[in-house]
Amino acid sequence: MTEFLDILKYILPALIVLIATVLIIKQVVKNDQNRRNSELISKNQQIITPIRLQAYERLTLLLERLSPESLIMRVTKTNMTAKQLQSELLSAIRSEFDHNVSQQIYVTPQVWEIIKNSRSKITQLINGAASRTNPDDPALVLSKIILEDLMSQDKSPTSLALEALKNEIKILY
């Protein structure tokens, strides 16, 4: 029995030291992993943040270019008919949107949906105004109706989308 106690005197402290060492090593490894994860997140943020800001800038530009006032000024040519203007406006909207569709990965799904709704409402506004004109009328008639319809709204669709975009930027940064 004394031999057992003698062996236990040596083994018990060694086990305690072993357990303590294992626990300390586990904690050190865990802390190191957390530090590495933090560094990785920080590096990713340094790369992603400028790209996201560029996406917000591009989407802001998209919304500005989709605003009916801007579209009409950019697309209207002399001697255009209402039908030609409608076609050119819708083509410009499609082109602008298609050019910037990849930016959706940098914004929340809610903001992207608002931007898509803005595009749809502008398209509806143009088509609704065009349905109230004669296709052979001068483009100026269609332009006037579009702008009057736009002014009758509380806020333009692009203004609402721009507000949502700005709010998201404030939350994220």
pLDDT of residue 37: 93
Range of the domain at 32: 2-172
Write out pLDDT tens, residues 84-118.
999 999 999 999 999 999 999 999 999 999 999 99
Q: Select the more confidently predicted residue: 54 or 4.
A: 54
Q: How many domains does the chain have?
A: 1
The predicted model gives 157-165 an average pLDDT of: 95
When pLDDT is cut at 50, 70 and 90, the band that residue 8 belongs to is: confident
Predicted pLDDT at 27: 97
* C-alpha dist (Å) from residue 6 to 14, 17, 18, 19, 162: 13, 18, 19, 21, 80
Q: Is the pLDDT of residue 41 over 90?
A: no
Give the mean pLDDT of 8-35.
Answer: 93
| pLDDT value, residue 33 | 96
Which band of pLDDT confidence, cut at 50, 70 and 90, is reported for residue 43? confident
pTM of the model: 0.76
Given a cut of 80, whether residue 1 has pLDDT beyond it is no
**Predicted local distance difference test score (pLDDT) of residue 6:** 81
Alpha helices in 67-154 (DSSP H): 68-75, 82-100, 109-131, 139-151
Reported in sequence order, the residue ranges of 10-84 that DSSP labels E, i.e. its strands, are: none
Q: What is the CA radius of gyration of the chain?
A: 32
Looking at the predicted structure, is the pLDDT value of residue 160 above 90?
Answer: yes
